[in-house]
Amino acid sequence: MLLALVMLWAYTSFSQFLIIWVENLKNEIPWYLRRISGGWSEIAIALILFQFALPFLLLLSRTIKRKAETLCAIAFMIVVMHLVEIFWFVAPAFHPGVLSIHWLDLLAPIGIGGLWLSTFLWQLESRSLYPFHDPRFAAIMDEVSGG
C-alpha cells in the first residue's frame, strides 16, 4: 500500500507540473521557475529523491517490506518529506533565488501537531475502543473466550 501511495503521489505531482508547463499558464510558470532555481532547487531535488526515488527503490524489496521497523522508518521519511513539500508549496519567496527559513517555519508544524495529538488523546480517553453496542460484538467475544 505504501508503494502504491508513493507512486500515486509522484504521478499526481508530475502530472500537475506537466499540465501547467505544457499549457504555458502564465500565472503558474513563474512560480515553478522561482521554485526550481536558487536555494529552492535543493529542496526540489530533495523532494524528488527522498519523497519518491528512494522510497520507491526501497519498497521494491520484499525483505524491507517484511520488517516493520524499516517500513515505519520509510513511512516516517515520507511524512517528513511531505511536510517539506508543503513548505515548498506554501512558503513565500520574498527574496528571489534565496531560501530563507524562519524558526517559526519549523516550530509551527510541531506546535499544531502537538495540539492535534493532545486533543485526539484527550478525546480518546472518554471514548470506548470496543463496539459494545454492536450485537455481533457479544458473539465475537464468546468465540474468542471459548464460551
Pair 22, 49 in one domain: yes
Say yes or no: 136 and 79 in one domain.
no
The pLDDT of residue 96: 66
pLDDT given for residue 20 in this prediction: 82
Kind and range of the H or E element at 76?
A: helix 68-90
Q: Which three cell numbers stand for residue 93?
A: 519567496
Domain count, the chain: 2
- Say if residue 141 is in the same domain as residue 89: no
pLDDT beneath 50, residues of the chain: none
Note whether 84 and 77 are within 8 A (CB): no
Same domain assignment for residues 94 and 106: no
Model pTM above 0.75: no
Q: How far apart are CA 24 and CA 72, in angstroms?
A: 40
39 and 63 both lie in a single domain: yes
State the pLDDT at residue 97.
Answer: 67
Which of 76, 98, 120 is the last residue before a domain boundary?
A: 98
Coil, strand or helix at 127: coil
Question: What pLDDT was estimated at residue 79?
Answer: 93
Q: What is the pLDDT of residue 73?
A: 95
**Together in a domain, 88 and 116:** no
> 68 and 13 in one domain?
yes
Do 63 and 91 lie in one domain? The reply is yes
Asked if residue 89 and residue 132 are part of one domain, the reply reads: no
Q: Domain check: are 51 and 64 in the same one? A: yes
14 and 50 belong to one structural domain: yes
Tell me what pLDDT residue 23 has. 83
Do 71 and 122 share a structural domain? no
Residues 94-122: tens digit of each pLDDT: 766 677 788 888 898 899 999 999 999 99
Q: Which domain holds residue 124?
A: 102-147
